[in-house]
């Protein structure tokens, strides 16, 4: 399993890095496809849990929101969110026949917007001035924080964070992730030419929210009684398994960059 994970990462990371370097439109198109697939996987989890969900339709709004962020700078984001909610409401009024149609409506709307609205901020980050540095700050710091949390949890983890969702996550690991997130954020900022205080601040945000971004997807998978959200990446699972923490980090990093750091 470890060998498979490493081989997948060796192939995947250079491809993603190249698209990030190229920026729009290539990164926009890649992320639109990834978010569409993530919406589909989210819908599949709801379907496996016994709800009347249409996974393919769950991937439509994430694609459109990503394209809007890249090609229109998010100009139609509010309209797309409104149309998504209205569209799902009309769809379930006309088509749903199951006793749990209200839950299915909620799952479908959440699949579309949790993945699409939050995930589209990855595109928006790259569109900023010094966008590559801001995107790297968000994405690479997540990896550093996750690694720090893993090793700290392995070394000194004793107190479980959310044993009903993930028995391996501990408070000690979370603290390790917080510390490495701040330090890693400063290192990434230094390499990317951003002020160290911005790196520390984003690293702090990453360290705080990362465990919960992971746990919300763990909750969905546990409810659906599956180990991974998909099987697209051998040894790594599906798109949601790879993007889970970024759904929390990307919007926070984006609004920190625009509202606090003054990036445009």
| pLDDT tens, residue by residue, 118-162 | 999 999 999 999 999 999 999 999 999 999 999 999 999 999 999
Instruction: Please report where in the chains the tokens 């149609």 appear, as a residue.
Output: 101
- For the chain, give every domain's residue range: 1-127, 129-264
Residue listed under structure tokens 């917080």: 178
184 or 224, greater pLDDT: 184
* Residue 62 CA: distances (Å) to CA of 29, 66, 116: 12, 6, 4
- Of the pLDDT bands very low, low, confident and very high (cuts 50, 70, 90), residue 203 is very high
Cα separation of the two ends of the chain: 43
pLDDT at 48: 85
Please compute the mean of the pLDDT values over residues 168-185 and round it to a whole number.
Answer: 96
Mean pLDDT on 166-176: 92
d(CA 146, CA 174): 9
CB 120 within 8 A of CB 137: no
Distance CA 139, CA 128 (A): 15
- Measured CA to CA, the distance from residue 249 to residue 247 in angstroms comes to 6
Question: 61-65, 176-180, 231-235: which has the minimum mean pLDDT?
Answer: 231-235
What pLDDT was estimated at residue 2?
59
For 234-264, the pLDDT digits (tens) are 777 899 999 999 999 999 999 999 999 999 8
pLDDT, the chain, mean: 93
pTM of the model: 0.94
At residue 100, does pLDDT exceed 80?
Answer: no
> Which residues on neighbouring strands pair with residue 237, listed in sequence order?
233
What sections of 96-170 are H helices per DSSP?
Answer: 101-127, 131-156
- What is residue 166's predicted lDDT score, i.e. its pLDDT? 85
% of the chain surpassing 70 pLDDT: 98
What residues contact residue 24 under an 8 Å CB cut-off, 6+ apart? 70, 71, 123, 126, 127
For residue 249, what are the CA distances in angstroms to 4, 22, 111, 181, 235?
27, 22, 17, 12, 24
Q: How many C-beta atoms surround the C-beta of residue 112 within 10 A?
A: 27
Query: Would you say 66 and 119 are in contact if contact means Cβ atoms under 8 Å apart?
Result: yes
Averaged pLDDT, 214-239: 87
CA Rg value for the chain = 18
Q: Phi and psi dihedrals of 40, rounded to 5?
A: -60, -45
Q: Which residue has the higher pLDDT, 214 or 233?
A: 214
pLDDT of the residue at 1:
58
245 within 8 A of 213, measured Cβ to Cβ: yes
d(CA 11, CA 3): 12
Torsion of CA 58, 64, 67, 68, to 10 degrees: -130
* Position 184 pLDDT exceeds 90: yes
Over residues 33-59, mean pLDDT: 93
């Amino acid at each position: 399993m470890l060998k498979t994970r490493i081989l997948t990462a060796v192939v995947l990371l250079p491809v993603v890095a190249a698209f990030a370097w190229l920026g729009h439109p290539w990164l926009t198109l890649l992320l639109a496809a990834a978010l569409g697939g993530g919406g589909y996987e989210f819908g599949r989890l709801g379907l496996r849990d016994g709800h009347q969900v249409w996974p393919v339709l769950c991937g439509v709004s994430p694609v459109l929101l990503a394209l809007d962020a890249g090609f229109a700078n998010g100009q139609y984001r509010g309209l797309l969110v409104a149309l998504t909610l209205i569209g799902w409401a009309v769809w379930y009024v006309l088509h749903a026949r199951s006793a749990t149609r209200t839950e299915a409506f909620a799952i479908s709307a959440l699949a579309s917007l949790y993945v699409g609205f939050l995930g589209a901020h990855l595109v928006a980050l790259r569109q900023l001035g010094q966008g590559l540095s801001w995107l790297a700050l968000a994405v690479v710091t997540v990896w550093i924080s996750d690694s720090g949390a893993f090793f700290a949890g392995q070394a000194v983890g004793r107190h479980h964070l959310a044993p009903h969702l993930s028995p391996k996550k501990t408070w000690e690991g979370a603290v390790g992730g917080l510390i490495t997130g701040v330090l890693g954020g400063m290192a990434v900022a230094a390499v990317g030419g951003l002020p160290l205080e911005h790196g520390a601040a984003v690293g702090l945000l990453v360290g705080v929210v990362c465990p919960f971004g992971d746990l919300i997807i763990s909750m969905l998978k546990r409810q659906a009684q599956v180990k991974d959200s998909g099987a697209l990446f051998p040894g790594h699972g599906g798109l949601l398994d790879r993007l889970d923490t970024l759904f929390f980090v990307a919007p926070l990093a984006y609004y920190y960059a625009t509202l606090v750091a003054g990036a445009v």
